Homo-oligomer: A and B are copies of this chain.
Amino acid sequence: MKPINVLIVGAGAIGGFYGALLAKAGAEVSVVCRSEFDLIKQSGYLIESRDLGDWHFMPHLVLRHPEDYPEQADYVVLCTKAIDVSENLELIRPAVSNNSAIVFIQNGVETEQAFIDAFPGNEIISGLAFICCNRIGPGQIAHLAYGRLALGSLTNTISPKAKQLGALFNAAGIECRITDDIIGARWQKCVWNAPFNPLSVLSGGLATQDILSTQDPLVRSIMQEVVAIASACGHPLPEDIIECNIANTRTMPPYKTSMLLDYEQGRPMETEAILGNTIRAARREDVPSPHLETLYALMKLRELKVAQSSNTH
């Protein structure tokens, strides 16, 4: 039987970890990785997982660019940061063939339509990762906690391809749920991301625990705005979603958000995917969102300051 071909684009901590799981389950997993190409080509990845143990992942092919992929990918899995969607679309285009399903495991809301418009003949699968994992050294990925995935096809209501991919993840020991409301699931994740990501950066680097223990009402106000926007967009969220998020965050270990890690390391932040798209949805649906508007404006100011500082260095 022909193996399942997977091409991972953006093989950092998230892409490397989920790629390693698919390989473990028997798929033929290749990766596009630019910054550590030589090292990964030679030695692959070392995965250190608290829950799943340690193992070595040697990709089938290690490529510098998607256009170097010589095969027909069953799945092109995009795991880059959600910084610039149109750039992402052009990045993967050369590796997408007629039968490829395009999977994006990324943060953010309202990025779906761009994928559907760019690849009208392909199945598009939207994925969300609930995971703490970090790159801890060259080719070294630590899986610290969680790991659950949600996948949903945007184009097919019954999707054998999404099911097949989910089965591989499950076989590798990670819970992967196939949902028919992946857009609602994105809004659910946004309920957490929209407050904690920007607050961690704007506070100057506080952990989630410190934010929540001192500014609980602000966190709730922001979450309420996201819930109202999601509802206006046709995705009413569970009634207890804010209480659940607050309770879960209280019991999480003190955690640096991904946006804070990006900020501290001078990388671009997912401001547009998480806040910008949320705000644009709010304006379109006429939902007042003063807390989110304030955070978004402040993040844009912060980005402007970063740009000024890097210009003068």
A280-313 residues at the B interface, CB under 8 angstroms: 290-291, 293-295, 297-298, 300-302, 304-306, 308
When chains A and B are docked, how far (Å) is the Cα of A211 from the Cα of B199?
19
Please, which residues of chain B bring their CB within 8 A of the CB of A308? 206, 210
Q: Answer whether residue A265 sits at the interface, using C-beta atoms and an 8 A cutoff.
A: no
Among candidates B290, B293, B304, residue contacting A203 with C-beta atoms closer than 8 Å: B304
A-B contact pairs, 26 of them (CB 8 A): A199-B301, A202-B298, A202-B302, A203-B305, A204-B302, A204-B305, A205-B305, A206-B305, A206-B308, A210-B304, A210-B305, A210-B308, A214-B300, A214-B301, A215-B297, A215-B300, A215-B301, A217-B297, A218-B294, A221-B290, A221-B294, A290-B290, A290-B291, A291-B294, A294-B294, A298-B298
A218 to B301, CA, bound (A): 11
A203 vs B201: C-alpha distance in the bound complex, in angstroms? 10
How long is the Cα–Cα vector from A206 to B309 in the complex, in angstroms?
10
Contacts of A218 in B (CB 8 A): 293-294, 297-298
Report Cα–Cα, A297/B294, bound state, in Å.
12
- Given the complex of chains A and B, what is the CA–CA distance between A58 and B168 in angstroms? 82
Considering the chains assembled together, what is the distance between the CA atoms of A306 and B204 in angstroms? 8
A206 to chain B, nearest CB (A): 5
The 8 A-B pairs with the shortest beta carbon distances in the complex, nearest first, are A203-B301, A290-B290, A218-B297, A204-B305, A294-B294, A215-B297, A291-B294, A206-B305
